[in-house]
């Protein structure tokens, strides 16, 4: 088993556009929040998704497993907590959860992310720089 790396927390506030007519966060928005946190991890580690796309490479979701435990509401301040481990030279496994300042959990999940060649749709090995993060 490879080492699990703690990522920086991402904080956000729930606004009206995040919610349904009852003021409850719409379930798919949690996926967006997780995506933002994963993108921040890449950016923090100098992995440019724009540069990758110019090389016909992109990160894609291979598998998602989510568990919803509570509903966030309009005005809530949330924290997206993430950690990541190397699944292979072309796959990362993110363990993510969304909590509030009191550590009340709203949703948790495991998200497998792969790097693929956009032309062939085949997995591609991570750059050496990215692989060094997991050493």
Q: What is the pLDDT of residues 44-62, one digit of tens each?
A: 999 999 999 999 999 999 9
- The CA-to-CA distance between both ends of the chain, in Å, stands at 12
Catalytic (active-site) positions = 20
User: What residue spans define the domains of the chain?
Assistant: 4-133
Q: Which one is the CATH code of 4-133: 3.10.129.10, 3.40.1160.10, 3.30.590.20, 3.40.50.980?
A: 3.10.129.10
Please name the residues in contact with 13: beta carbons below 8 A apart, sequence gap of 6 or more: 75, 76, 77, 78
Q: Global pTM?
A: 0.93
Q: What is the pLDDT of residues 64-80, one digit of tens each?
A: 999 999 999 999 999 99
């Amino acid at each position: 088993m490879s080492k699990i790396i703690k990522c920086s927390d991402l904080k956000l506030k729930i606004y009206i556009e995040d919610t349904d007519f009852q003021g409850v966060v719409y379930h798919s928005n949690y996926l967006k929040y997780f995506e933002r946190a994963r993108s921040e991890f890449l950016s923090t580690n100098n992995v440019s998704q724009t540069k990758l796309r110019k090389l016909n490479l992109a990160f894609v979701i291979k598998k998602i497993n989510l568990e919803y435990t509570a509903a966030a509401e309009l005005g809530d301040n949330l924290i997206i907590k993430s950690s990541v481990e190397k699944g292979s030279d072309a796959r990362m496994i993110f363990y993510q959860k969304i909590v509030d300042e009191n550590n009340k959990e709203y949703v948790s999940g495991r998200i497998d992310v792969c790097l693929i060649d956009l032309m062939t749709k085949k997995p591609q090995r991570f750059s050496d720089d990215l692989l060094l993060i997991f050493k």
